[in-house]
Amino acid sequence: MRILALSGSLRRESYNTRLLRAASELAPPGVEVELYEGLASLPPYDADIDVDPVPAAVRDLRGRIAAADGLLISSPEYNGSFPGQLKNAIDWASRPFPESSLRNKPIALAGATPGAYGAMWAQTDLRRVLGIAGARVVGEELPVAHAPTRFDDEGRLIDPEVRAHLIEHLELLAAEARLSAVAA
């Protein structure tokens, strides 16, 4: 089973990307977590260029989402919501509607921030936007507050409670992805 992990952050030292790397290490047996690293290469969504052939970066994103059994998205919070580059990726992935690669795709959400709330508003907005796009957001949010204290100097997740919650998050996502495969 393959889970595609998307970080809403473009920062090299992103706590959200670190969280997704930890997810790769903590994935249940038989589950591979692949980190998508092409967010910065996506052009702004434009219906005029959303025609055959679409830009290569868009084709790659759509293909990776379609091939994945589920998605794990971890996003920072900018001005009370999730970053524009992540919204742009969702806009590209949601087309063509209703046959998009997001359609009925099980997705779990997380967010890591230096602040006290762990990107809760960003995750709430992501749940709404992804639902409108036809995806199936599963489980509760996974807020990781005070992120600098949760990782060591090498970027490894060291907080045992966050690790346990991340493992539970991944197990739920894998179970939902298996159910989706059976129903298909």
Question: For 38-142, where are the alpha helices, taking DSSP H only?
Answer: 56-67, 84-93, 120-132
The pLDDT of residue 180 is 84
Domain that holds residue 108: 2-183
Total tally of structural domains belonging to the chain: 1
121-125-130 Cα angle (round to 5): 145
At a CB cut-off of 8 Å and minimum separation 6, what does 17 contact?
A: 7, 9, 11, 35, 74
Domain at 117, CATH number: 3.40.50.360
The mean pLDDT of 57-86, rounded to a whole number, is 97
The pLDDT of residue 16 is 98
Rounded Cα gap, residues 36 and 157, in angstroms: 19
The pTM of this model reads 0.96
Q: State pLDDT tens for residues 106-155.
A: 999 999 999 999 899 999 999 999 999 999 999 999 999 999 999 999 99
Q: State pLDDT tens for residues 37-61.
A: 999 999 999 999 999 999 999 999 9
